[in-house]
Every structure is written in structure tokens, then in C-alpha cells.
Amino acid sequence: MTHYTDEEKVGIKRDFHQKMIWTRFGMIFLGLWLLTSPETFGYVHDPARWSDWICGLLLVFFGFLSMKQKYCGWIWGGCLVGIWLQFVPLAIWAKEPVVYVNDTLIGVLAIAFCVLVPLRPKELEKGPLIPSGWTYNPSSWPQRIPVIFFGVVGWFIARYLASFQLGYIDYVWDPFFGLGTEKVITSMISQEFPVPDAGLGAMAYSLEAIMGAKGTARRWHTMPWIVVIFGILVVPLGFTSILLVMLQPIVVGAWCGLCLIIATCMLIMLALTVDEVVAVCQYLCQIKKEGKPFWRTFFLGSEYEEDSVDTRTPDFHQSAWQITKSMFWGVRMPWNLLITAILGAWLLFADNILGFKGVMAANTDVCGALIVVFSIISWAEVTRGLRFVNILLAFWFALASFVLPGGTPLIMWHSVIVGIVVIVLTFFRGPIREKYGTWDKRIF
């Protein structure tokens, strides 16, 4: 166990800052690239030219200013510039594809130079790896790899859809529904957005992938704010986007196959992310009970002196099967919740097969989408209790066939049977194999 004096910590941080100077030069290089891009690529759109010039100057300024340790925090100005660079081609409806490609790529790199660079030296990265009372580390790299992967998949698909909305390509491929994707992303609802909505999704998914890669395996206590922001990006925003995608038949009258792939990725990400958010909330509650400075810990992280070892999480030199299994610790697929998810998915297509019409069809789509969402979210052991929402949804779905207009005998029998099956299956909790400290009593 190594204890550092305050003077030694200052020296360690100074040496660490010197080692990270290369990131400032990287930021400066990105700025110079932007300054020369309008002439190099022949921009004809004046707003795009001015945006690149101004953003280039800002990146050069932030890069030079943050070289001094006193002003090292100014590197985060480059992160804001990177977010703007991802947004500006959408805001101005950039006419040239090179503007969209160049600005979004440089924007992601600018964000990465700020976010992915370690915030503290390895010598001061101390403390427990596994949260108190837990049996695994939700911030370990194997736990985060699937989240990063699905974020990248969503990013690439959304960029493809955005390129169609911006007019760079004249055809968009749908793996399942023919022209369904084109109908959805050119619908009146999409056209009412002031910017291409697929481009906004691409920006969000890229941020999720980057935030998922930020920090070490101790980030649940060394940088709680990162995990909280990451959780906000994935959980509430992901939940909303999933529902919007699954309700496309109601609001648009068509299915978007690529959007469904993105929604599936988001659902899996949500189930895999929520345990790390719970660990951070537990840690922050503990900090508050102990009377330690809450906001300082929230933004600057913990200050442990002792170190620890995680003997359970496999290293990357171990077998691929061991690593794969560790990716899904805390997430199980109980047979009953798998069936309720399948039944919910069936309801999304049942209106066309069984002849649901009008408000009855809309109600079926809404109930089906919500049953799918809450079933898959409940695969995560820490949110297993959310499955009981499906009881309310199933009860209403069965009752609606008698209350809403358009209920034929076939529809009534179908609704009652599906509702009863979902209600009965929901009562089974399924196995809980991991431990979550004080959260165990909230798993029911």
C-alpha cells in the first residue's frame, strides 16, 4: 500500500499532464485540418465554410491554452466544439456529402481527445474494483464492450439514414419491409423536424459509444458524473427512442427495418447499462451518509489510498468464452420474460393478421411495444421488478377488446388469452445469480 503526500500528488499530476501533452497537439492538428478543409474540399456552402473556420480556430486555441496545467480544463472546450461539428451539417442541411463526413468525423475525434484521455494518473487510480456487496464489477471492460459495440452499430445505421435524408443518396435499403424505411424517414413527422432526425440519432449514438469507452474499471467511483451522463443517454433517451420506433405503424403506417435494428440495439444496451448506474447511485448515497463532500466526489471522484484486486473478471488473454460470459453478468433471459417479449412482438404485427382496425389497432401496437420494452429491461437483474408493469398492460389489453370499438369475437378471445398468459408469466421472477449489496432487497 502506497501513501502519497499532497506534495507528491502534485508532482504526480504534473508529470501526468506532461505525458498527456500529445492530446493537445492532436487537438491543434484537428483545428488546422478544419481551417484548411473548406478550400481543400471546395465547400460551396458559406455557413459550412464559416463553421469550419471558427471551429478550427477554437480547437487550436483550446489546444494551446490547455497545454498549461493551470488551464488544462479548457481541453473540454474542444468537446463542445466536437458536439457542434456533429450538429452543424444537420442544422444547415449541408449540400455536399464531404461536409457531413468531414465535420462528423473531426467532431468525434475532438470529443474523443477530450473524453477518452485519462483524467487522473494511474498512481492515483486506487480503490475497490467491485462495489460493496456486489459479486462482479459493472464497470469492467467486458461489461462495457457490448454496450460500445451496439452504440457503434446504431451510429453507423443512423448515419446511413441521415445521408438519405440529406439527399446524398437516392435509395435506402430495408432488410425486411421493402420501401418501409424510406416511407418512415420521409414521412410528414420526419419532415416536421427542423433537422434530419436520423442525424440527431447518429450524434447521440456516437456519444454513447464514446462515453461507454471512457474511464477505467473503477469509474463507478472515480468518475460518477460520466456514468450518470452515460446512463441518461442510454436509459431515458433510449427508452423514448425505442417507443417511437415501435409505434411507427400508428404514426406513419409503415415499419422501418433499419430503425427496428437500432431499437433492438438500444434495448440490449439499456439492459446492460442499468447495473452500472445502480452501482453509482449506491456509492453516491453512501458518500452522502458518511458526510463526505457530495458534489466534489460526483465530479472529481473518490480519493482512496488502498488498492484492490478483482479476481473474478477475466483478462483479455483468457479464453473468448470466459470473456463472453462475463459480458452478460447481471443480465439473464428468464424463459417467462422471453415469452412475454415474444408475445409483445407478436402484438406489433397482429393487427394486420387478425384484422384490428382503428383505435383497437393503435392500442394493440402501444401495448405490444410496451410489453416488449419492459420484458427486455427486466432481463437485467437489478430491474427485474419492472416486469410487473406488464401486468397492468396485459390487463388493459384484455379489457380494451370489450371497451374499445371494433372488438370482434376473434379479437376478444385473442386479447383475453394473450393478456392472461402475460399476467401469469409475469409473476415468475426467475433466477437471480448475482449480489448487489443494498439493492438486493429491491429485486422482487
With a cut of 60, say whether residue 1 has pLDDT above it. Answer: no
User: What pLDDT, on the 0 to 100 scale, is given for residue 373?
Assistant: 92
Quote the percentage of the chain above a pLDDT of 90: 69
Mean local confidence (pLDDT), 269-279: 95
Mean local confidence (pLDDT), 199-216: 93
Q: Are 226 and 215 in contact (CB under 8 A)?
A: yes
With a cut of 70, say whether residue 396 has pLDDT above it. Answer: yes
pLDDT, tens digit, 9 for 90 and up, residues 402-442: 998 877 888 899 999 999 999 999 999 999 999 999 999 99
How sure is the predictor about 2, in pLDDT bands with cuts at 50, 70 and 90? low
Mean local confidence (pLDDT), 314-329: 94
pLDDT, tens digit, 9 for 90 and up, residues 80-120: 999 999 999 999 999 899 999 999 999 999 999 888 888 77
Give me 189's grid cell. Answer: 413527422
CA distance 91 to 171: 22
pLDDT, tens digit, 9 for 90 and up, residues 293-317: 999 999 988 878 677 888 899 999 9
CA distance 32 to 52: 10
In the predicted model, what is the mean pLDDT of the chain? 91
Q: Give which of 434, 430, 444, 243 is closest to 340, Cα–Cα.
A: 430
Q: Is 90 helix (H, G, I), strand (E, B) or coil?
A: helix
- DSSP bridge pairs for 307: 127
pTM: 0.91
Give me 262's grid cell. Answer: 437500432
Which H helix or E strand runs over 23? helix 21-41
User: What pLDDT, on the 0 to 100 scale, is given for residue 377?
Assistant: 94
CA distance 335 to 333: 6
pLDDT, tens digit, 9 for 90 and up, residues 59-71: 999 999 999 988 8
How sure is the predictor about 12, in pLDDT bands with cuts at 50, 70 and 90? confident
User: What pLDDT, on the 0 to 100 scale, is given for residue 393?
Assistant: 97
Give me 430's grid cell. Answer: 426467475
